[in-house]
Amino acid sequence: MRIPGGCHQAEEYKNISSNVHFMDERLNSAENQAGPCGILCGSCPLGGSIVAESASRTRKHITECDIPNWAPFVPGGEAIDWAAVDLGLAWMETYARCAGCENGGGPPDCTIRICAREKGYDLCSSCEELEGCTKFEWLRDQGQMIKDRLNENRGLSKEEYIKKMTAKMP
């Protein structure tokens, strides 16, 4: 079904199941990984690019359906800042796409990963400066929890850490 005005969402959504299968394969490839920060890729909501792919698809539909031009004629549509919506979706396309740090995923400017690579660590738990490290601050409350978990598991190899943490997951 083709909707007037160039919007063909119905056609696009027919292909969702095949896209989800592709995304599941990517998620599975990162499932048994952990970043140097200790975050298990399989537990991360950004793993597998589902959020990024959805943002990309949404941006495409907004453009193809010309939503910013007709939204003001729908109740509440005049209050939407479409430039801000596009900026937010563009951010999600860039930063919410993750195949795992070992596969080049994660935020490209992640200070934790950059530091670990510079120091030659697979896991930050190997670093003597972990206790006072400020590179986890961008993760807010989660950052301290992650550092605590790394401290509790000092001495484990990355593989041992992943195995132990994966066993604790529901």
Give the number of other CB atoms < 10 A from CB of residue 118: 8
Answer whether 0.75 is exceeded by the pTM.
no
The pLDDT tens digits for 34-43 are 999 999 887 7
The pLDDT tens digits for 116-159 are 999 999 999 999 999 999 999 999 989 999 999 999 999 999 99
What does the DSSP assignment read for 69-86? HHGGGSTTGGG--HHHHH
Angular region, 93: left φ>0, alpha ψ -120 to 50, beta rest? alpha
